[in-house]
Amino acid sequence: MVTIREARLPDDKPVLLGFIEGLQRYEAEFESDRRLDAAYAEDQFAWLMRTAGKGAIFLAEIGGRAAGWIMVYADEAPPYVIDAERRHAVICELFVDPPVRGQGAGRALMAACEQWAKAQGLSVIHIGHLSLNSRAAKVYEEAGYAPYVVLRRKRLK
């Protein structure tokens, strides 16, 4: 059974660093620009903590063991977005440990973020993924997330 709780820092930091590294290794399968050096997880954690005050961090547990994590925060879109949807939630850092994928932890983590966003009075939530990550695309579509914007890249020589 999956249980979701808010992360307790600094106690949960070691497991979160492990999940940050796990996500980075996973995304490196799709994207060559991913850092895999020893300092990366601490750098990413520090960067995330600058945003964490505007949101929440949730940890999934299965059988009392950490199974995955997610972070959500409130953000504001530019003025071209209608007022009712300008303030929105952003999900980032969703990662479920590979041995327990498919047991509902990811869905439960996303649901916790959606509940958090509703409690903040937000009516829209965003989540992104690498374009080649078809597994994430399928999971997010099944959870009701529709494509919204396409970001394109060109490497300059």
13-64, pLDDT tens digit by residue?
999 999 999 999 999 999 999 999 999 999 999 999 999 889 999 999 999 9
Q: Alpha carbon of 79 to those of 55, 62, 91, 95: distances in Å?
A: 22, 42, 21, 32
Q: What is the pTM of this model?
A: 0.94
Rounded percentage of the chain residues whose pLDDT exceeds 90: 98
